Amino acid sequence: ASVLVLQGPNLNLLGLREPAVYGATTLQQIHDQLHQVAGQLHIQLETFQSNSEGALVDRIHAAKQNNVQFILINPGAYTHTSVAIRDALAGVAIPFIEVHLSNIYQRESFRHHSFLSDIAVGVICGLGAQGYELALQAAHQRLTQ
Ligand code: DQA
């Protein structure tokens, strides 16, 4: 099984960035942990972070070429703005789970709308770094059942 983890803008700052909201874990630590779980589940895992909307769209297109079977995506602030990322995910038709570290519904109202949620397999928010691991387990179950 092949799974791609996509991380949007500012997630490279995890650990430093608003730790009260996003936790103290760095993106590197999250990805190390995911690689460990992926190894146990025999999943081929790739991770990609970008601060640029176009680079994320390009990576989604490349995922189709590379036969990626499932995407886990934290689109960061693009969650609330990006029709382009939504259209890319719909265009490649690769199933995906949307992940947010924070509970976006406890926060400002502009974070309550996502352009992706209605076309996602599922959404996990508010569980911090654990959300990615739970999403990976859910992806694994879907790919092997
Ligand atoms: C986020 C929530 C977004 O509203 C915010 O812009 C982020 C991170 C989260 O993981 O909680 O950058 O996606």
- pLDDT at residue number 134: 98
Secondary structure (3-state) at 22: helix
What residues does each domain of the chain span? 2-144
Q: How far away, in angstroms, is 4 Cα from ligand 1 center?
A: 19
The stretches of the chain forming alpha helices (DSSP H) are 19-22, 27-40, 53-65, 83-92, 130-144
Percent of the chain past pLDDT 70, that is, above it, reads: 100
Pocket of ligand 1 (CB under 6 A): 10, 74, 76-77, 79, 100-102, 104, 111
Cα 69 to Cα 61: distance, rounded to the nearest angstrom: 13
- pTM of the predicted model as reported, rounded to 2 decimal places: 0.97
**Binding-site residue ranges for substrate:** 74, 80, 87, 101-102, 111
Q: How far away, in angstroms, is 11 Cα from ligand 1 center?
A: 8
Secondary structure (3-state) at 125: strand
- pLDDT tens readout for residues 62-118: 999 999 999 999 999 999 999 999 999 999 999 999 999 999 999 999 999 999 999
The CATH number corresponding to 2-144 among 3.80.10.10, 3.40.50.2300, 3.40.50.9100, 3.40.80.10 equals 3.40.50.9100
Ligand 1 atom nearest residue 9's Cα: 12
